[in-house]
Copies of this chain bind each other. A is one copy, B any other.
């Protein structure tokens, strides 16, 4: 793309939206790692310094582009810190606390939009991978060759709870007390993180 400094948009209210639109396209099409602030600025026809000025880091820009009600970069490290033997329980409790809070409503909207088309699904997958799964992987001690599957198994359990409890509101899951679910789901997440994944069925009696 040819630089057209003279034609670049000034810092007006439309500029922010133009940057967010360019960011969504870039993250969906090139992925998180393949996207730079510079490329987004070029696509939005603004100076990279303006993108930094409005949004800060690439992570923060991604959060804004997704209308994410929370920052996984703050929540996940807090949930993961502490006794490794209880990490699954803390992850479930933190996940449910966020979804039970006012942020949960925005979470439902985000999930709905994410699943609506092939394109938004790709953008959401990039978001989950770069902002959530990667952070869990880097904070938890797991064998490198097992870690990718383990974190997606954790995500599968938590995503399913989000879908049934908050989006579809299937009872009694929708109204179950949070700690009931921590007790029920905690061992699952704990096993996905640190337990035996080759769970052969019990031998026939």
A191 partner residues in chain B, CB cutoff 8 A: 187-188
Any B CB within 8 A of the CB of A89: yes
| Shortest CB distance A201–B (Å) | 4
Are A164 and B152 closer than 8 Å at their CB atoms?
Answer: yes
Any B CB within 8 A of the CB of A98: no
A141 partner residues in chain B, CB cutoff 8 A: none
Any B CB within 8 A of the CB of A13: no
Roughly how many angstroms separate A161 CA and B86 CA in the complex, as a whole number?
A: 23
Any B CB within 8 A of the CB of A27: no
Identify which of B121, B163, B176, B183 contacts A200 (C-beta below 8 A): B183
Roughly how many angstroms separate A147 CA and B48 CA in the complex, as a whole number?
A: 56
Q: Quick one: given A85-B204, A115-B112, are A129 and B185 in contact (CB under 8 Å)?
A: no
- Residues of chain A whose beta carbon lies under 8 Å from any beta carbon of chain B: 83, 85-86, 89, 111-112, 114-117, 121, 124-125, 128-129, 133, 148-149, 152-153, 155-161, 163-165, 167-173, 176, 180, 183-188, 190-192, 197-202, 204-205
| Shortest CB distance A24–B (Å) | 16
- Kindly report how many copies of this chain are found in the complex they form together: 2
A197 partner residues in chain B, CB cutoff 8 A: 180, 183-184
Identify which of B112, B117, B184 contacts A153 (C-beta below 8 A): B184
| Shortest CB distance A169–B (Å) | 7
A180 partner residues in chain B, CB cutoff 8 A: 149, 197
Roughly how many angstroms separate A89 CA and B155 CA in the complex, as a whole number?
A: 20
Are A155 and B160 closer than 8 Å at their CB atoms?
Answer: yes
Are A169 and B200 closer than 8 Å at their CB atoms?
Answer: no
Roughly how many angstroms separate A190 CA and B191 CA in the complex, as a whole number?
A: 14
A116 partner residues in chain B, CB cutoff 8 A: 112, 115-116
| Shortest CB distance A135–B (Å) | 15
